[in-house]
Amino acid sequence: MKILLVYPETPVTFWSFKDALRFISKKSAEPPLGLLTIAAMLPVDWDKKLIDMNVSPLKDEQIRWADYLFLTGMNIHKCSFKKVMRRSNELNTPVVAGGPMVTTDYEEFLGVDHFVLNEAEATLPPFLNDLRAGKAKHIYTTKEFPEITHTPVPLWHLLEKKKYGNMSIQYSRGCPYNCEFCSITMLNGHRPRTKSTEQFLAELTTLFDYGWRGSIFVVDDNFIGNKKKIKNELLPALIEWSKQHHYPFEFGTETSINLADDDRLIKLMAEAGFNHTFIGIETPNDESLAECGKTQNLKQDLLPSIKKLHKAGLRVSGGFIIGFDHDLSDIFEQQIRFIRNSGIVTAMVGLLNAPAGTRLFERLKKENRLLSNSSGNNMDGSINFIPKMKYQTLIAGYKRVLETIYSPKEYYERVKTFLTEYQSTIKNPVRITFSEIKALFKSMWFLGVLEKGKQYYWKLFFLSLFKYPKKFPMAITLAIYGFHFRQVVKTT
């Protein structure tokens, strides 16, 4: 059996980092971890090829080669997904589809021959059994949230690793919280299910042996969902593994803000090589936090919590949302002020949308306020429901927030605020690569000569070089991120 696994093209979005990746001659921020894992779950004797359309084009002869084309994606990939599906239909190659987008809305994709929905650990085996028997069904689904202690190591050798800025790995699925707008609990459940420590380290060892060095993002829904297990088992073992391998990796992940309450956990994460976490801050408006069920944020003093994490060596990226029912006309200035004071450099501010299957989607449906399905791009300026605030006021205010926080002056000031607070704890030696040297010179040209606001780049350049020399590489990296973010804002 010949299987072609295809990951659709991601449009230019906040998290695509496409304009930043060009500085280091990379094509994509992260690999398609789900497809690599699916590939490892297929029979060993099957031929498998992976095409990530973000790093290489999909050719008709590749589709013709395959007995089946396996296709996945998120809402952001819908356009590319449908194009691949139609091409495969025209070339008479059956399509097998799974992943979060089709799980929540499979009826929209009429060209798919077989849907393997929900988590593959539960639905892929019966599909494969039926396929062997020549009686594969149209849809495979489950209400089960399977354990992931037997999930195999992803097939990293299918990748062109040099084309990626980071690698990805997963330790757990599920989140103990239940935010109204979030689809995670619907897709992965409330109970955090973890791999074993041995599994996690085996995946790291495979990546190490594969030759990867540098950044790895742990793609968990909430890495600290099971604090006891990561404090007592995973992180101590990871610290020891990193020592034995001379600290080859640095890690980023996603956590909830209550990480700031646990000094031991913060210390262990820093010692294990974590230097970055994404946190859903959402809003400084307590009424809006209560509205969306973000109880963990209501219990925190948000600004001191963020600054504590920065001081401990964990750079915080933040997700922010505008458009809650309780947002008033002053929310725009509140968000600007909070982001400015927080020192959160990577601040993704999106309009509230209601993904299919979420509690928010169901509530708005009952209130007859739904307009369409969510695009999956929180920063494209679209909203899929009728807001309480006047629509024109909401859109104008939202654009003002983006234009303000990503203006060169505001952005570089925020980087400086962050640098004054951040204390790096990474133990691995600085490894300056040739691509990073090229990125430095590219930044000097594009940001320091060609771009409007170049004076702020040079102020940051010399401040970090002479006052914070150990933080200089991070300062330049964040400056390059800013270039990408400004390109995204221009299209919003």
> Where in the chain are the domains?
2-140, 156-421, 434-490
Q: pLDDT digits over 376-426, tens only?
A: 777 788 899 999 999 999 999 999 999 999 999 999 999 999 999 999 887
> Residue 345 contacts by C-beta under 8 Å, 6 or more apart in sequence?
315, 317, 411, 414, 415, 418, 478, 481, 482
Q: According to the model, what pLDDT value does residue 429 have?
A: 56
| H or E element that contains 40 | helix 33-41
pLDDT for residue 372? 81
Task: Quick: pLDDT tens for 170-187.
Answer: 999 999 999 999 999 999
Q: Which of 268-282, 343-357, 368-382 has the lowest mean pLDDT?
A: 368-382
Rounded Cα gap, residues 457 and 81, in angstroms: 39
Which CATH architecture is the domain 156-421 placed in?
Answer: Alpha-Beta Horseshoe (3.80)
> What was the pLDDT predicted at 8?
99
The CATH superfamily of 2-140 is Cobalamin-binding domain (3.40.50.280)
Q: Mean pLDDT for the chain?
A: 96
Looking at residue 428, what is its pLDDT?
64
CB environment 22-40: b (16+ within 10 A), e (fewer): bbbebbbbbbbbbbbbbbb
Q: How confident is the model at residue 263 (pLDDT cuts 50, 70, 90)?
A: very high
For residue 430, name the pLDDT band (cuts at 50, 70, 90).
low
| Mean of pLDDT values over 89-108 | 97
Report the percent of the chain where pLDDT is more than 70: 99
User: What's the pLDDT tens digit per position in 111-161?
Assistant: 999 999 999 999 999 999 999 999 999 999 999 999 999 999 999 999 999
